[in-house]
A and B are shown apart, each in its own frame.
Chain A
């Protein structure tokens, strides 16, 4: 139902605007609406993750069609697109969080370094330790701030002594830019913090197991602008040590924090490119419509 509506709207937009401002903005050839092949360069020189021909089905419904993209080492890549386009679904494929959904089926290949993450030999426990995740709504455990950060290292057996754990917790909070604020209240419940602090606590929790990749699913959608600014700043700092994949609804945010951007539309990966290029000079009509606010 909603799919039809969007398509009609798109078609309508096409008839209204096809030969006005769009042509003035782009000097190169713009791919037409009906072409759903990914445009732009999907490969990078030093990939951390390589995804090819990823198809995701929820029961009979196909949520992602033939997605192929590389995620480079120490880069921030943003997934943008209208609601229901499959960007969160794709993000959750990257650490196999979709495994928990019974009807969900993933086909294709996703590699982390040299390991195919959907291979039988790969354990999700190990995979999720290597690929951390931060969720849309801050979801600290109903435990103390300290326990929240210490949980990951503890279950994975990363430390041997209490002193080591203390150090690791402090370092993780420091990396998440939260240490100063919570130093004196480590034993207070994590849920007593403000929304923005809670989200940074979740980032600290993810950082504590020293993952290689951090996935962020609209991490700022429940936060106010000031908390958002802090998280964005933090993402920029975290890039030094981690590869970050962020799903966002805010195009400004994508423009601010990411180096590369991927635009999804109704289950298709429409366009991938350098963030600057995507926002100033999109090569696909759909991307252009979306970033100019014409639709979505």
Chain B
């Protein structure tokens, strides 16, 4: 055999490895420290912005959870409510309750005279005060004839003043509230007749032009119905598609094409789905505008690719040994999938679904296209009623100049975030329940 000629010993072999390594050691450690500090800086910056954002939203939004009320002595004068004395509910319903409110206000400030002055005085309470009295009489007609001290909703300007958001030093013409009104509010406050109560209206009523009467219930229910439709459509279809593509479909050019298209769909800007929904569901199928049904359909189209991709990833992560075990026992393919693969992939699929749903919850652009941006006062009672959703409501309110709407915008954002946390919590609970650690 021919022996290999011994190669010349490289010069590096004759140097002392210890000194060589030591020489560069400091530089290596410094590089590592630098890298760590970059990481720390990046994380702290991120956290800082999160904290800033939350501080800003909560700081602005939390006053919206409290609403100013004025205690007004109301006398339910039968001569005003029921002049005929018939106690006819229809007549009582249409009585002039505003007159009762006005009388109550005059009773508190008997010295105020003149049309302009009186109008300024009446403006302290919200127009909702009238409906409030109407509701009370409707619930309890026995009140007619009695006199009561009633907490009535203050107007948004009073609310803003009480919350300290109006600069009293400004010139009268530059503030939304006049000097005499400030004087009355101060007097009422001194007498303990002004109070901040928990803002139930925010959660119980729909949108309104008057900030003190505007609530998010309409948007909340709209979001709920929309997401319900989205989930009911996209989850079963998404899971079925993922299972078919992953387990049953032949691997050929067609399935490749479908796969590429699904991946592309996941990256399509959401507004495009909105246009599609407008063209197909509203113009072609003639479904109603602004309806959660259409919103849900559009968001399903958007969520489907996410669920399919996550579902397929979950299916591939199921160990092949389980499939072999099932097939080896003589299980049919559907039994293998149904009994073994799908239960194991379910946690992953649910996670994908929740990610998709969270995205759908925060989506506003496609819904603008199908008319869910309309000003809708009534709380939707079903999937065909006109509705809006939380992000769109936030967008609508953020456009309005009143200070009271600014805090409501932040409050709505807080509710939206809470909704998302709730959904993610639910996802974790479901995942834990389905997850088998063995």
Binding site for B on A (CB under 8 A): 95, 97, 100, 102, 124-129, 132-133, 135, 137, 139-142, 151-152, 155-156, 189-192, 202, 205-206, 209
Contacts and interface: CB of A to CB of B under 8 A. Distances in A.
A142 B438 contact: yes
A141 B344 CA distance: 10
Contacts of B319: 139
Contact of B438 (A97, A189, A202): A189
B324 A141 contact: no
Contacts of B436: 142
B232 interface: no
B265 interface: no
A142 B331 contact: no
A126 B331 CA distance: 9
Interface string B311-346: 000000001011111111111100100011000100
B251 interface: yes
A118 to B, nearest CB: 16
A23 B345 CA distance: 59
A152 B326 CA distance: 9
B405 to A, nearest CB: 54
B321 A126 contact: no
Interface string B261-278: 000000000000000000
A141 B322 contact: yes
A155 B344 contact: no
B330 A125 contact: yes
B325 A141 contact: yes
Contacts of A206: 328-329
Given A205-B329, A206-B329, 4 more contacts: A95-B328, A125-B330, A139-B319, A206-B328
Contacts, number: 65
B330 A128 contact: yes
Contact of A128 (B321, B322, B327): B327
A79 B185 CA distance: 98
Given A137-B321, A139-B321, A142-B322, A155 B438 contact: no
Contacts of A135: 321, 324-325, 328
A97 B325 contact: no
Nearest to A140: B325
B321 A142 contact: no
Contacts of B327: 97, 100, 128
Contacts of A192: 438
Given A141-B340, A142-B436, A142-B438, A125 B332 contact: yes
Nearest to A190: B438
Interface of A is mostly: helix
A102 B251 CA distance: 8
A129 B328 CA distance: 8
13 contacts: A100-B327, A125-B330, A128-B327, A139-B319, A139-B321, A139-B322, A142-B322, A142-B344, A151-B331, A155-B331, A155-B339, A156-B330, A206-B328
Contact of A151 (B323, B329, B344): B329
B330 A152 contact: yes
A191 B329 contact: no
Contacts of B323: 100
Contact of B329 (A100, A126, A137, A155): A155
A48 to B, nearest CB: 18
A100 B332 CA distance: 12
A214 to B, nearest CB: 10
A135 B325 CA distance: 8
A152 B331 CA distance: 8
A128 B438 contact: no
A126 B340 CA distance: 19
B335 A155 contact: yes
Nearest to B335: A155
B348 to A, nearest CB: 14
A127 B327 CA distance: 11
Contacts of B329: 128-129, 132, 151-152, 155, 205-206, 209
A38 B275 CA distance: 70
Nearest to B436: A142
B322 A133 contact: no
Contact of A97 (B251, B321, B324): B324
A205 B339 CA distance: 16
Contact of A133 (B328, B340, B344, B438): B328
Highest count of chain A CB atoms <10 Å: which of B321, B325, B329: B329
A81 to B, nearest CB: 22
B163 to A, nearest CB: 57
Contacts of B324: 97, 100, 133, 135, 139
Highest count of chain B CB atoms <10 Å: which of A127, A139, A192: A139
Highest count of chain A CB atoms <10 Å: which of B330, B331, B436: B330
Contacts of A202: 325
A128 B328 contact: yes
A129 B321 contact: no
A55 B434 CA distance: 44
Contacts of A128: 327-330
Highest count of chain B CB atoms <10 Å: which of A135, A155, A156: A155
A151 B332 CA distance: 13
A235 to B, nearest CB: 17
Contacts of A140: 325
